[in-house]
């Protein structure tokens, strides 16, 4: 897509983009915001997405909308971003919405759910399938407007101290796995734990947990999991395309000049694209380094995958029967997923099964 078309898609025309210059900068007020992230600065792709976003907003507004980015724990803990934005402690937050399923299980679909949408499918749903409008109506109840702003792509299945050869090996295992993935794992006998990124390695090292999932080779290598758990499982059925989201306090959003609002939308869309591109490039090299360091790649047993898929959709249906908001989101998501799977099964999978070498 060329720049002209991109700006049109993002809701801002070429004429408006030209306004992001000296005349624009002089005409608008200087606004200073704070953005708190769920991630530590050491995770330069995740946290770096927030920094890149803030930089692009500053560039697009001639330095007039200044957003200072804080890592998890500097203002609030990593899992309290939604509360911080809702309460006005900060104007913005960067997070994954499945951290807040305690407030509404439906929020998980704003991030990613087991056996769900890939990165491309999630984007198609959000931008052209009604997903953004659906979630903005939900987040409005929290006093928040949300923007897709990054994706990890298909994740890995997790790090384990011992090899998983069957369903029986999962029984009683303490594993860091949040959101719907944790719900499904609990049905397979796992005891799920919810920990922020910076707390996982110490817990794994001292044996407080037996296993963990995080993202993929690049981020997992940075957190050092391979030093204390050698078995690395794939595929990440629990998170096939996890979206990161920017939260903006709705009252603060409404105070902004329209041009600043447009700058936020454009910058979020850019980061949504570039984060996935970075992951695709970085994960390939990181995986090879991990293998050289003695990591043992293992594919999930078919028995586990089948049981997990069955448990996932049983849980979706149960939640749908209990809550009207969840049912509305799940119904829309399920219809979109079925359509996408038929198309991708013909085009993408048909090519990949032939072209991609297996381990």
Q: Which residues are annotated as a binding site?
A: 155, 176, 213-214, 239
Residues annotated within a binding site for Na(+) = 214
- HEC per residue, 58-118: HHHCCCCEEEEEECCCCCCCHHHHHHHHHCCCCCEEEECHHHHCCCCHHHHHHCCCCCCCC
Q: Judge contact between 181 and 114, C-beta under 8 A.
A: yes
| 70 vs 51: CA distance, rounded Å | 9
Residues annotated within a binding site for substrate = 155, 176, 213, 239
| 271 vs 96: CA distance, rounded Å | 15
| 91 vs 100: CA distance, rounded Å | 18
Q: What are the tokens at 239?
A: 């998170």
What does DSSP assign to residue 40?
Answer: -
What does DSSP assign to residue 152?
Answer: -
* H/E segment holding residue 345: helix 324-346
User: Nearest 5°: phi and psi at 332?
Assistant: -65, -45
Question: Can you state the angle between helices 302-322 and 324-346, rounded to 10 degrees?
Answer: 140
């Amino acid at each position: 897509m060329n720049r002209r078309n991109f700006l049109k898609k993002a809701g801002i025309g070429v004429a408006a983009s030209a306004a992001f210059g000296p005349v624009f900068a002089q005409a608008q007020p200087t606004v200073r915001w704070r953005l708190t992230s769920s991630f530590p600065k050491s995770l330069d792709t995740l946290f770096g997405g927030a920094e890149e976003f803030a930089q692009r907003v500053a560039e697009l507004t001639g330095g007039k909308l200044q957003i200072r980015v804080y890592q998890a724990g500097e203002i609030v803990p990593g899992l309290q971003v939604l509360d911080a934005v809702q309460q006005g402690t900060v104007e913005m937050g960067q997070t994954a919405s499945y951290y807040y399923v305690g407030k509404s299980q439906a929020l998980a679909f704003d991030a990613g759910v087991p056996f769900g949408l890939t990165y491309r499918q999630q984007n198609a749903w959000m931008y052209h399938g009604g997903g953004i409008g659906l979630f903005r109506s939900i987040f409005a109840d929290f006093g928040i407007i949300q923007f897709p702003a990054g994706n990890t792509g298909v994740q890995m299945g997790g790090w384990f101290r011992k090899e998983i050869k069957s369903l029986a090996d999962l029984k009683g295992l303490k594993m860091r796995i949040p959101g719907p993935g944790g719900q499904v794992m609990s049905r397979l006998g796992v005891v799920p734990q919810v920990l922020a990124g910076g707390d996982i390695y110490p817990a794994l090292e001292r044996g407080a947990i037996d296993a963990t999932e995080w993202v993929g080779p690049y981020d997992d290598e940075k957190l050092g999991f391979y030093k204390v758990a050698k078995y690395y499982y794939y595929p990440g059925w629990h998170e096939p395309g996890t979206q990161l989201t920017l939260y903006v306090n709705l009252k603060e959003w409404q105070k902004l000049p329209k041009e600043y609002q447009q700058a936020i939308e454009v910058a979020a869309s850019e980061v949504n694209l570039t984060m996935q591109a970075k992951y695709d490039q970085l994960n390939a090299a990181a995986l090879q380094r991990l293998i050289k360091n003695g990591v043992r790649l293992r594919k999930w047993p078919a028995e586990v995958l089948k049981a997990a898929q069955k448990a996932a959709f049983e849980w979706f249906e149960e939640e749908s029967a209990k809550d009207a908001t969840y049912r509305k989101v799940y119904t829309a998501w399920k219809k979109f997923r079925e359509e996408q799977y038929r198309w991708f099964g013909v085009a993408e999978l048909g090519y990949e099964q032939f072209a991609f070498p297996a381990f």
